[in-house]
Each structure stands twice: as C-alpha cells, then as structure tokens.
C-alpha cells in the first residue's frame, strides 16, 4: 500500500547464524557476570566468615562457619560448586534467616516482579501518549509543555518523587497506602486489589524518570518518521492525520522505541531496590539491604547474581525482539 517499509527477510541459514551468535554472546555474558560477582564477594581480602560473624566472634565459630561455607577449599572449586548451584537453583542457605536462599528470593519476587511490570506499563502508556502528542504538535505549546515536563521528570530522583507522592496521595488525600504490603491473598490479610493499591505509588515513582526518557525518545523517533515520503503519500490519499499518526507513523517508529523500552525494563528491575525501601515493600530490594546489614554474604551474592542475570536476559530478549521487528539488522551482523 506504500505506507509501510518491508525490508526483505534473510534466508533461514542467516537467521539461524544470527540466533546462534546471540545465544553464544548471552551464555558468555552470563558466565563472565557470574565470575565477576563471585570474585568481588568471595575473593575479597580478609576472612569472609569473620566478616559475617563480626569481630567479637570466637575463632572456633569462625572456623565452623568457614567450613560450612566451604571457604577452606580452593577458589576454583568453590566457584564451580556455586555455579553448579546456580544452574540447579540450589543457592545454599541464608546465614541470617537459616532458610534456603531460593525460597527466600522466590517469596520476595512476588512483590518485585509485579512492581516492575506495573511501573513498565505506566511508563509505556504515559511516554507513548506524551511523545506522540508532542511530535504531532512540533514546536507548538503542547510540544513545549511535554518537553518541559519530561525535563522535570529527568531531574527529580525517583525516591524523592516517591516521598512527594506519599505526602499528596497517602497523607493528604488518603487515596493510597503510604507504605507496606498487605499480600496478594486474603489469607495474608490483603487481596489482589489491596496489593495493587499498595504498588501504585511506588510504580509511579519508578515510572517517572523512565517515562520522561521514553517520551523524549518517542517524540524524536516519530518526528523522524513523519519526514518520510510514505507519510506524505498516506496524507495525499485522504487519510486522517490521527489515522496516519497512530496507524502508520507510530508503527514504523516502534523499531527503536521497543529497544529502549526493553532496556528501561532492566533499569526498573534494578531500580526497585531503592523504591522498595522508601515504601517498606517486602521485595527483593529490601531483602538485599537486610542481607547487607546482616552480613549475609551468600544471600547478597545470590541476589546480585540474580539482578545481573535479569538485566542480561532482558537485553538478550530485546536483541531478538529488535531483530524480529527489523530483520535488516541481522544482515548487518548485529
């Protein structure tokens, strides 16, 4: 119809080679990340068992914990055992909580993952609407207002914005709880609606900065597509400006936008660490702070590796999704 650019797809062998290269890079990156996490937290100067127990611990207690953690074994053997545990989800036991680390993390992910997903949904809706609106009113008051608001969003730290949200919507208006999490079921004292209400304000605090970034990027991408010849052709055929903008322009602009959205989701996952502490949410972010305070190095090690793996996996998915949207990238050896 002349309104959509359709780059030719590569033959199946080229697609297979592209996927093989991406998978190899993905596995290598995970391996390097695991080495770095292990080296930073396990090969630090000093006795890790003594660090966990404190200076007042007796030599016998330190020796017993060192034996429990396998610190008396060579570093290569300890890494191999730890990496094998990662692959089988056997992450050992938490020193402070005296419970399997895998179960402890899974319990906290029930808060962190919905929080990150809700924040990403808010980011997407706000940013796409604001970015397209600004591009459609380029250099007019609406465009300037969106750019000013996005600049403000970039300047305000998420934790400070979260405090402002609490003061307005929780303390003054009483629309949402100020903090805490009631649980997802009635047995826990909450429910689905109560749980969602508890996540709205922290999700907004997380989404503010990311929505500002994505709105500016969306505006730029849409403006670039608006200058293409097929847009003028669509308008000449009598299509409404709204139809051209949302059906044709945004569709082509989504190629770079989707990539940025994927990278932002990785930022939101790691950004929950601070926000969960601001809102007293029992998620992964709060757990890692408690683990650091309790000197629970095995738990800290597992959480840091999980966050690193989450970022790597999200970037891997983004690479595949970007290639699916725009197959020309594979032909360029991306």
Residue among 54, 40, 5 at smallest CA distance from 308: 40
Contact of 291 with 300, CB cutoff 8 Å: yes
Question: pLDDT at position 51, please?
Answer: 62
Q: What is the pLDDT of residue 226?
A: 75
Residue of 316, 320, 282 lying closest to 97 (CA atoms): 282
What is the per-residue pLDDT for 203?
93
Q: Is the dihedral of CA 280, 282, 283, 288 positive or negative?
A: positive
Residue 23 has a pLDDT of 87
Integer CA distances (angstroms), 315 to 21, 30, 105, 246, 262, in order: 14, 12, 22, 27, 7
Total residue count of the chain as it appears in this document = 334
Spell out, as residue ranges, where the chain has pLDDT lower than 70.
1-15, 42-57, 68-72, 188-189, 231-232, 234-241, 243, 246-248, 322-334
What is the pLDDT, as a whole number, of residue 133? Answer: 86
Q: Which two tokens stand for residue 101?
A: 């680390």
Say what the pLDDT of residue 325 is. Answer: 64
**Domains within the chain, CATH numbers bracketed:** 12-331 (1.10.3720.10)
3-class DSSP state for residue 70?
Answer: coil
């Amino acid at each position: 119809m002349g309104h959509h650019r359709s780059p030719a797809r590569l033959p199946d062998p080229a697609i297979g080679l592209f996927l093989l290269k991406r998978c190899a890079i993905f596995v290598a990156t995970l391996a390097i990340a695991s080495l770095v996490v292990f080296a930073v937290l396990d090969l630090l100067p000093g006795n890790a068992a003594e660090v966990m127990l404190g200076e007042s611990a007796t030599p016998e207690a330190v020796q017993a914990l060192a034996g429990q953690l396998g610190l008396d074994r060579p570093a290569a053997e300890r890494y191999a055992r730890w990496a094998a545990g990662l692959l089988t989800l056997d992450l050992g036991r938490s020193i402070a909580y005296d419970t399997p680390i895998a179960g402890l993390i899974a319990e906290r992910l029930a808060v962190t993952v919905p929080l990150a997903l809700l924040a990403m949904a808010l980011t997407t809706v706000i940013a796409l609407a604001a970015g397209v609106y600004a591009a459609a009113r380029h250099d007019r008051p609406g465009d300037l207002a969106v750019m000013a608001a996005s600049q403000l969003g970039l300047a305000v730290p998420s934790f400070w914005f979260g405090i402002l949200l609490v003061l307005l919507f929780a303390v003054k208006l009483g629309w949402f709880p100020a903090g805490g999490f009631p649980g997802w079921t009635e047995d826990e004292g909450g429910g689905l609606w109560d749980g969602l209400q508890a996540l709205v304000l922290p999700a907004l605090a997380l989404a503010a900065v990311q929505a500002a970034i994505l709105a500016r990027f969306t505006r730029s991408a849409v403006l670039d597509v608006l200058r293409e010849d097929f847009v003028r052709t669509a308008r000449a055929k009598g299509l409404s400006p709204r139809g051209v903008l949302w059906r044709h322009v945004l569709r082509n602009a989504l190629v770079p936008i989707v990539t940025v959205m994927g990278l932002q989701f990785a930022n939101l996952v790691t950004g929950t660490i601070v926000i969960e502490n601001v809102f007293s949410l029992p998620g992964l972010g709060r757990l890692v702070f408690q683990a650091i305070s309790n000197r629970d190095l095995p738990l800290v090690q597992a959480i840091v590796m999980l966050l690193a793996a989450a970022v790597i996996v999200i970037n891997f998915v983004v690479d595949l999704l970007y290639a699916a949207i725009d197959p020309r990238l594979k032909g360029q050896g991306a």
